[in-house]
Chain A
């Protein structure tokens, strides 16, 4: 679950990144509008957190431009302005949700989860497959009712696979979802985490599609 954070303020950006990483998100943090457009064009993100008060090209301009380019990444807007006009302006420019500064980290995380859930076309707050239930709000995973302990990366990988139940996810896609810029990635780390997940959830829970990538195992 990779998130783009667009925030010019060093302290706030740092805090949000740290807070989201606690929730096992991979966070790319850029500090101005141009970099944001560049990042959105080059990668696929589960969601984008966008501060409207950016120097240079401001948040609304970024939003309009990405939407014009056909980008459908869910966008949560952060704003210091709390008049109705500001909120309406942000939403009309293509934002999916907004938060007014200062905000609660827990609320930011919850809104982000809701955004990602809606974007995946699911109204259910938990992800489920073959008795394995992942609850993004508590970050708990259970298999047939018993809690399964997962590391942050394992959790993120499982979340990605459960979010795309009928898709084959390539190794590159999974890596991109798992790691932000600058994260150290080994040559076979995805394989390592898949291996761990199979050990914890059952060998046939994740299927290898030779030459293409990985997919959730069939029902039954």
Chain B
């Protein structure tokens, strides 16, 4: 099974199952997620809050909080030595060694993701000295280079700035510098642009794309924003209530969504040109009715059926499998032919 990892594949998540087990109930936060991430490429995981996208990323990082646990599946990762490791089975020690060096992560809240007590240069230098035996002074020098790399103006001077001296966009750049300080092979970006305004979002995405082409890392991009997905990803995994509901190359997904949920998500993305009738009157947006079911009380069969406009009584009978609906295009819908 492990040898089945193609040589250009960095990460292969296979049938990942992450459950949160409490005394009275089991929350299947991630239920059978499978996707591959090739070297230097970007896969986006899309879903609403509670869809399991963040738990997927934390499972890969080995940072699940109690009582979360990986109960099944594999997270095959090709490390720098070229050996394939199953991160789902890796020891805490091995995971700690990988974090920050080979796998790094950036978060949603740039305003609070930096320690307010230390200068940004100091924090980047800490990252470098943690994983590499060089002097603090040399590390600080490298920190300045990293700040230049993430396009912070007057980087040499701003090394000595505290986080509160910086704007949200600047801090997210510092976070990226921090994450990339040790040139990781895999960058997990958990909604890195959600807290930023649109122009800054575009700059950060642009920066990530540039750094990716220069440093060659793979990016696992977690987001709920389909606009961002179109900007950055090559392949998209759409999650709903812990399961993958659709998986496709990005162009395919936007052109031919094959799952009612994806279609619904696309329909509720505002689009000024589309949402106006011929007389110039704005049409109402079409939100998906209802909300994501609680993960501990999923409806039987297709979990999306209660909100689905295409649903028929048969949909609640059994969990639909992933149907192949095109070239590397999968959909978990019995009625995908209608779409």
**A and B part of one assembly:** no
